[in-house]
Amino acid sequence: MLQLLYSSLTIFVVGDIISLNIFGIPVIIVYTDEIAKELFEKRGALYAERYPAYMAWFSGWQFNIALIQYGEWWRRHIRSFHQFFNSRVALSYEGLKIKECRQLLQNLLDTPDDFSEHLKFSIGRVIMDVVYAIDIKRDNDPFMNVVHTALEGFGYTLIPGLWLVDAFPVFKYLPDWIPGIPFKQFLQKYRQATVDTLNVPFDIVKNRANPDYSLVSTALERLSRLEEPLPNEELVIKNVAGTAYIAGASTTYAAALHAVTAAVLYPEIQKRIQDELDTVLGDRLPTLTDRKDLRYFNAFCWEILRWRPSAPIGVPRAVQEHDVYGDYFIPKGGMVIGDSWHVLRDKKYGPNPEDFNPERFFKPGVPPPTEHFGFGRRACPGRFFADNTIFLFMGCILKVFNIKPKKDENGNEIPVSSQIIESALPMPEPFECTFELRSPLAKELIVNRDDD
């Protein structure tokens, strides 16, 4: 998974730690569960700092909470974020998600070949509604196009060693006319889209006379009632909103697409999920209260997160003081990467980690794959919202449709690859599949709105 990072570099392996050097910067890669927990959780304060992400910052991503340096500014953002996305509040968005699920099901029925775009749009629409209460268009919405351009660039800004400017930030000041400076062309292509993604929806809500309920409108209303607000509090609200939208629209979409891939690759697993859904739900769609009764489907959702982490190398950290782990010395200021791809293949999850097997979570002592969302103080604060979204969206899809490989003109199934496109935010390789109604009752579940 770290092939992009390891290629053409000198690598040293000390026990269960990989060390390499990128442009003179010591890089330590942690790829076992035991060491990740020791460093990022037990010694959390020492490893909570972010390594300077100059390319991402220059591209306009300094607002992203995941990239903000550890300290009071970061804590203010996290406190604000948790007000709207903690485990309790995340449950309150269920009705909105189920409503969008029904529209997604209708779109899959009407134009199944566009399933990837439908997933991307529906997940983005839910988050846009929660954060800004802005209704985006279904066909070629200009703002969504800007967001997707920004996200396309974001994944590349976080790959360690890819950009010389990360090691030599002074290169930012080189004039644009000098040839052979790829990061300059990159900034010209992506920076404005990133800036617009942060500012445009926030300004729309701020300038509305009577905005609908949303994260931004609620936070701004609370701010207006404070006699002595903290400095730059409006900027905190804007940053939290931008982070919530961007993070959810990218990683949750990736997880949903991996889930569809798994359903196609493993039809026997898909059938078992559907049998369980039929037994527990009868003639209705799932809700979050059903989760405790849908043991196999819940394990499927966990296995998606374990099998295909959305951000397998996360965001690099910087150790704040010299540290020692076993026989290994970790120098102050060194870049430390938590490799969740390999941690999620730890022996605690059982044998054959590359196999997709939901039943591994039935064994005593096997925990949920929380490492999918990162480690320690820097774990993804939107994990509860994302986890619930995957459960509801995939539960509704599998309740209504059989997902099968598409066939060519000769009636042969077109193979679906289990491989991924490597980047900081990996996606499945493009594939084709069909969405077939499971029964006449399935269509009624799409059009019946009584339980929205």
- Residues of the binding site: 380
Backbone dihedral angles phi then psi of residue 209, each to the nearest 5 degrees: -70, -45
Pairing of strands 25-30, 317-318: unpaired
Please count the residues of the chain.
Answer: 452
Annotated binding site for heme: 380
311 neighbors 251 (Cβ within 8 angstroms): yes
Half-sphere exposure of 151 (CA within 13 A, CB side): 23
How far is the CA of 254 from the CAs of 22, 120, 213, in angstroms? 29, 9, 28
Contacts of 325 (CB under 8 A, 6+ apart): 17, 35, 38, 39
CB 262 within 8 A of CB 394: no
Which residues make Cβ contacts (< 8 Å) with residue 72, sequence separation at least 6? none
Q: Ramachandran region of residue 437, left (φ > 0), alpha (ψ -120 to 50) or beta?
A: beta
- Nearest Cα residue to 147 out of 160, 161, 136, 162: 136
